[in-house]
Structure 1
């Protein structure tokens, strides 16, 4: 009699366990589940969810509807880290990262007009080792919107506040991920988004805000940080890369006295103008890459581009684009109202841009229906001109110091051929923190090749370069990017 009773108890326990597992895996809102995507055939390697989290607009204003696309980890979503990804701008959609960088798919441009891009699984997607939330932030960016456009006047501090509210509500909707380690990541102007949000999350946890976010650290790629360090980075970078002569460099050094971004000397301005002329025509996001020339901006392309097989109505095979970036030459982010890229481009022609694949795909009605994007959000564009955005958080150096003092892990990485946010400035400000070096400057290896260089500091603070990469690192070096990303998340030596 004991044996049947034991078997009965085992069956009951197994049923209870199955029920628990079912509840745990199905806690996510099923109305947000993405079951298929136009342009992709086959099964997703993990679950995808997309939709909106609504937060209070404040001061009796209409609410803000923040859009996310969530890719569960392809490895073990119940225990793998959850990472929030933010693109910069300010005012640029995180679908930049989803479509062009480390998202679950690679996109092939349509062969004929009217067709959709073709999607293939990305073997180097960061969802191989983590779950990722791609968030359009702040309201007014990408598919995020508000019924009252006065909500589109915002800045660093309000954006961090809103994104923290988003995270609290998102984890309420996806309670099965509350216990997972949580990280924040982003690039370019997200060099401001990430530390300010991290600070709000830290303060919320310490003050007892529920749910408690299991926040462990953050990473920033080619990110803005401090106007002095960022503004003085370009001239030394271009000289070190052999883009300007010793004579031009020495002239600027003497006339500007090391201050290249906030000068008052007319002779300094003349020296910098000569440097800018020397750099004209380069792809500022990767000096090794050719530029895409929009057919609407020039009636004839240079002979060198014709030899590459490029014509006025055909883009280069590698998509490179301006939007999502930080600033043009010699213009670090200063306090106050920031002109957005669409506004800058009204008066300045900047080459090397092409975001056609994302624009075509994300404005297709069937795609928008599949990913639960509200029609009220309007036409999708990579970077919006609708915001009035204020840089009001100041330098990020104090944020980094406070957060590392609180024990959070930090990875600051730079594609070393980016001329937009040169690694020279990032290397200088990371060193300025004054932390003890615990892992002296050395190469790091991927597939038996030098992939870049690394310097480790006390307080779990790491600076890393990716050899040959531009501003959007995973776009240029996908395999190496997945490697350092996965190693860092797992706490392994890079």
Structure 2
């Protein structure tokens, strides 16, 4: 055998060895059954850990739920929740877009009829380390994390996850998320785009991103949020003026003393309502958990917190659930929680604006859709509209109502390089409040078709 043939044969053997190892790891991650799972489950699911930093022992936890039909031809969508410090499994998977939702007994699960895995393969990631089941062996990591390391670790996760699941390596890939993931998603998207530049066969076949009720730009978020509170009768004229005078200068990451005082006034004027969904009652069993408007990111102290959060806390702390999901393998000395107080309260870096990233990725031709539930007072539709307006994009299709079964589902505007969609009657977590309309939105995003504008 000639040297060239030996080289080819050696490479072929090495390739086979890599694929064999990858599929062996897949087999180890396969979920055969979840406690309380219904009988009629027709898709494969996997979960486990991917190490992103060996020296620190930093590992991120994922849950893959493949599509219910033809998963081999469907795109892959990574879902991220925000906080910062909140679990994508608690929110995105267990009460929004995932195939399973948790019964109120906290011990069994049922199928979500509007799960997004009917249209795509869904990959949920608990990020950064310290959130959910994701962990680090270096405790200091929990007190020093911020936007930059979160993006870098997520990118390392993806590269190594694709090596474990090579069948997805060249699949159309999208990123979606909500809330403070309005920072995670664009920053990870930018990192992938830049890493892919100049490579003939991109490591990640990235096509675009979708974000909802997303933290985008500190200045415009402040203006739009205060305006929403005032125009919806949630705060007084004087508090509105004080907020605008005290909070529009500087970073929302570290608000001034007088800004915090104005936020305290707004919090007290809100009363006992859920600012994440202003027209729905707070969960009676958790009334003491009324969300404050203050915190590290003044109006972003938690993800949406209905009673479903308590069901997640019960279910994902069951030892049999953790065993079935290959989770908590290091047996950490604290319970799994929907959000991490440590990670959230010690967040280090948070850029003032994502708009420069939007401009870069729009120029690159990536698909970008932004959606907003219009009953959210946390990152309201007015904040999103001010941020998009600041991009100064040409309009392709002017503001129009979109329809679902003859009823207005919301409104939309198509810009050159970006599509905005609102969902009427939805709070901070659009797929939780309006699951059918969110599923319609997701399908149109995947097809890159404008929302249905005809009254049918």
Cα offsets for 1:434-462 (capped at 9, x unmatched): 00011100111112210001011002x01
- The structural deviation recorded for 1:258 is 6.5
Q: Is contact 1:285–1:471 with CA below 8 Å preserved after alignment?
A: yes
Q: What residue is the counterpart of 2:410 in the other structure?
A: 452
Q: Is contact 2:274–2:280 with CA below 8 Å preserved after alignment?
A: yes
- The structural deviation recorded for 1:398 is 0.8
Stretches of structure 1 lacking an aligned partner (at least 5 in a row): 1-21, 111-115, 299-320, 323-327, 343-349
Q: What residue is the counterpart of 1:187 in the other structure?
A: 178
Moved more, 376-385 or 78-87: 376-385
Higher share in helix: 2
Q: Is contact 2:294–2:301 with CA below 8 Å preserved after alignment?
A: no
Compared CA separation, residues 333 and 209, structure 1 to 2 (3 A): farther
Compared CA separation, residues 470 and 341, structure 1 to 2 (3 A): closer
Cα offsets for 1:361-389 (capped at 9, x unmatched): 10111111111103325321001123232
Q: Is contact 2:178–2:214 with CA below 8 Å preserved after alignment?
A: yes
Compared CA separation, residues 192 and 296, structure 1 to 2 (3 A): closer
Q: Is contact 1:294–1:351 with CA below 8 Å preserved after alignment?
A: no
Q: Is contact 1:50–1:68 with CA below 8 Å preserved after alignment?
A: yes
C-alpha distance in structure 2 between counterparts of 1:267 and 1:216, whole Å: 43
C-alpha distance in structure 1 between counterparts of 2:239 and 2:112, whole Å: 44
Structure 1 length-normalised TM? 0.78
Among candidates 352, 360, 380, match of residue 402 of structure 1: 360
Cα offsets for 1:21-47 (capped at 9, x unmatched): x99x96871111111110113142211
1:468 and 2:425 are equivalent in the alignment: yes
Compared CA separation, residues 295 and 86, structure 1 to 2 (3 A): closer
C-alpha distance in structure 2 between counterparts of 1:226 and 1:447, whole Å: 35
1:240 and 2:231 are equivalent in the alignment: yes
Compared CA separation, residues 224 and 353, structure 1 to 2 (3 A): farther
Q: What residue is the counterpart of 1:329 in the other structure?
A: 293
1:376 and 2:366 are equivalent in the alignment: no
Q: What residue is the counterpart of 2:206 in the other structure?
A: 215
Stretches of structure 2 lacking an aligned partner (at least 5 in a row): 1-18, 452-456
Q: What residue is the counterpart of 2:162 in the other structure?
A: 171
Among candidates 457, 479, 485, match of residue 436 of structure 2: 479
Q: Is contact 2:239–2:265 with CA below 8 Å preserved after alignment?
A: no
The aligned runs of 1:145-156 (5 Å cut-off) are 145-152=135-142, 153-156=144-147
Structure 2 length-normalised TM? 0.84
Q: Is contact 1:138–1:159 with CA below 8 Å preserved after alignment?
A: yes
Q: Is contact 1:437–1:458 with CA below 8 Å preserved after alignment?
A: yes
1:230 and 2:184 are equivalent in the alignment: no
Q: What residue is the counterpart of 1:357 in the other structure?
A: 311
Compared CA separation, residues 381 and 432, structure 1 to 2 (3 A): same
Cα offsets for 1:201-249 (capped at 9, x unmatched): 01111154986111000011111111111112223212333445xxx33
Q: How many residues align?
A: 422
Q: What residue is the counterpart of 2:116 in the other structure?
A: 126
Q: Is contact 1:178–1:211 with CA below 8 Å preserved after alignment?
A: no
Q: Is contact 1:261–1:332 with CA below 8 Å preserved after alignment?
A: no
The aligned runs of 1:57-206 (5 Å cut-off) are 57=54, 61-95=55-89, 96-110=91-105, 116-152=106-142, 153-206=144-197
Q: Is contact 2:300–2:378 with CA below 8 Å preserved after alignment?
A: no
Q: Is contact 2:277–2:426 with CA below 8 Å preserved after alignment?
A: yes
Compared CA separation, residues 438 and 295, structure 1 to 2 (3 A): closer
Q: Is contact 2:80–2:88 with CA below 8 Å preserved after alignment?
A: yes
C-alpha distance in structure 1 between counterparts of 2:257 and 2:327, whole Å: 51
Compared CA separation, residues 383 and 131, structure 1 to 2 (3 A): same
- The structural deviation recorded for 1:83 is 0.5
Q: What residue is the counterpart of 2:349 in the other structure?
A: 391
Q: What residue is the counterpart of 2:449 in the other structure?
A: 492
C-alpha distance in structure 2 between counterparts of 1:394 and 1:273, whole Å: 22
Cα offsets for 1:45-87 (capped at 9, x unmatched): 2110111111225xxx323111100011112211211000001
Cα offsets for 1:364-422 (capped at 9, x unmatched): 11111111103325321001123232134331111111111111111111110001111
- The structural deviation recorded for 1:132 is 0.7
Q: What residue is the counterpart of 1:346 in the other structure?
A: none
Moved more, 88-97 or 371-380: 371-380
C-alpha distance in structure 1 between counterparts of 2:262 and 2:191, whole Å: 42
Compared CA separation, residues 471 and 202, structure 1 to 2 (3 A): same
Q: Secondary structure at the match of 1:284?
A: coil
Among candidates 434, 438, 444, match of residue 392 of structure 2: 434
Cα offsets for 1:167-188 (capped at 9, x unmatched): 0011111111112110011111
C-alpha distance in structure 2 between counterparts of 1:269 and 1:360, whole Å: 34
